[in-house]
Chain A
């Protein structure tokens, strides 16, 4: 960090690190557009991704680093998306990284002032991975709008840790890093509460999920893969044919930081 950064707003809460020796945990940062995802990213890494109050300005994938409690973390800022279901390029980038990039922890940033819409994405991410921390951001905005958000109830409903933050002022970020550390290191293993309504689609997904789990026991994203196959996702079909799913299970069992997202993304494990 240069000295001229010291007067800047939102000094990094995590200490940015430059050296890359030693194991490093990969943390994916997902969320709806315009939830303050980039603010969280900047506050943690001390980097200056452009932030702004409009949906869709983070279109690529940005990476930054920070360390917490003596461990190093690589934070990957994914494009903001409302869901992971469509074929638009930004949703594909986000989905592929969470599924094949095997992050040690995925932080889903939600706007607590529009929780209903934001939870949609959280529920989809929970189908893919159980290593999730929900960052309940814009708590200051919620106060301004006179909304009371019961964080504990939310955490109970979802089955994963929920950390209230106001990233613009930096409040709650230390708690967020502590929770991410616990999940990424395996100290805390979240058990998402997945409730599937009794519909034709869910019954079909049940059947396919069971098949996938027999082929790849322990695959956390089995249900998600089932959904994708039912939706005719070519990318997931190819992954299945190439045997990448078995590798995903393998990766789950290894100590976290040994994955190589690039190889997995290109389909040559």
Chain B
């Protein structure tokens, strides 16, 4: 388009804008926003007529769910119930799935052998890659299929913003943003998703704090490990009636501990590297809505369960292959896996763990889900990832043959909570912050904390015994 001679140039417009801006000063935002609010208010009053009955159920619910006294206990109780239902409900279908999938493996093995395939091909494909996938599916699918619909139900109901509301004062005191509670709730599903969700936080300082501490919420890839350890070791220490409750309670304890570390690290960061005051924000408490069962099922299965499962399988396949190679390539008298585990043993012992556990965590960097399967594979020394048919047999293997104690189990739960995030999460941090430095901090800080905490617990236990 052609500008007529009288038309002002861009520079002239900008100069005038600058001088007007100086005249107005800080009044600009206030006046503009007040004007908008007045107009909105005027229109809304003209257009909407309120009936007599409204929101009585909502306000009754909110009196309990967001009360300073009952809000937090109800929240923790709900978490405990969800975990308890998950633990109790997941066991049996997990066993069925495992048996079914491993039966297929045996048949395939037989078929391959009968067809004259070389042993390493059968081993690599079926006992390596396939078994890695089968393990992940059978261990993860049932807990997810129970946990996610329950979580989605609360989300659909409108409960999650109330969580943020209840926790706001805690985060504010830590110099962080109240919405961080929301992003942490997302982290339960997947830390990478939680890190992305931090975009809802306006202030860059608080956003980075939220991104760096999201990993302190145990994600869905770590829940199976926590739940398994709780079932095998914690539950066993209690009479059967209380067993599953105690197991659920210990997982709630781990979640609380993780949240405490998230707050602590936020507090430290907001007083050192990321100094500043907590910014205030308006949090909308949406009306409670009647959850739509079909949509809950769709969201929790297709968007969450299948999505997370496919991601886990994507990493478990290759990891299964690596594990098979490490366990089957021999140097001298033992496999590579055993050599590495032996080399890591002193460090592992110092941390109240052992070399095999550390090896498992290294192999599981792409996906936290395969920590336990890797561990068991090396322990059993059969050159493949192994499922153990029952929890009793598992306890016998770990305690009887490999010297596990309650300390090992407790420290493994701690280390599972406090270690570097998975590769996907680290990459997401890098992408969201646009900085390698923050990605490194996000990976190394939790790892250092995990090392310190487990070593300290191990040291204290050694001193006491």
Report which A residues bind B (CB closer than 8 A).
8-10, 32-34, 48, 50-57, 59-60, 79, 82-83, 85-90, 112-120, 123-124, 141, 145-150, 153-154, 157-158, 168, 195-197, 199-202, 204, 207-208, 211-212, 214-216, 226-227, 229-232, 237, 240-241, 243, 246, 249-250
Contact = CB atoms under 8 A, between A and B. Distances in A.
A202 B31 CA distance: 9
B287 A113 contact: yes
B36 A120 contact: yes
Interface string B183-203: 000100000000011011110
B286 A230 contact: no
A67 B309 CA distance: 33
10 contacts: A53-B156, A90-B199, A120-B40, A123-B39, A123-B40, A145-B51, A146-B52, A149-B49, A154-B43, A168-B295
Contact of A124 (B7, B36, B51, B283): B36
B200 A208 contact: no
Given A56-B200, A229-B14, A231-B32, 16 more contacts: A52-B155, A54-B158, A55-B161, A83-B33, A85-B32, A88-B202, A118-B40, A123-B39, A145-B54, A150-B48, A197-B35, A229-B13, A231-B28, A240-B14, A241-B11, A241-B14
Given A200-B31, A230-B17, A148 B48 contact: yes
Nearest to A241: B10
B462 interface: no
Nearest to B198: A59
Contact of A154 (B47, B55, B152, B156): B47
Contacts of A83: 33, 36
A117 B41 CA distance: 8
A85 B29 contact: yes
B392 interface: no
Nearest to A239: B10
B289 interface: yes
Pick from B11, B54, B284 the residue with the most CB of A within 10 Å.
B284
Contacts of B284: 32-34, 55, 114, 117
Contacts of B295: 9-10, 51, 168
Contacts of A150: 46-49
Nearest to B161: A54
B35 A201 contact: yes
B54 A147 contact: yes
Nearest to A143: B51
A120 B193 CA distance: 30
Given A230-B17, A231-B29, A119 B48 contact: no
B54 A146 contact: yes
Contacts of B39: 119, 123, 195, 197
B294 A86 contact: no
A179 B405 CA distance: 69
Interface in B160-176: 160-161
B265 to A, nearest CB: 23
Interface in B197-237: 197, 199-202
Contacts of B294: 8-9
Interface in B1-33: 1, 3, 6-14, 16-17, 20-21, 23-24, 27-29, 31-33
B290 to A, nearest CB: 9
Contacts of A114: 284
A148 B49 contact: yes
Given A157-B46, A215-B7, A237-B14, A204 B23 contact: yes
A249 B160 CA distance: 44
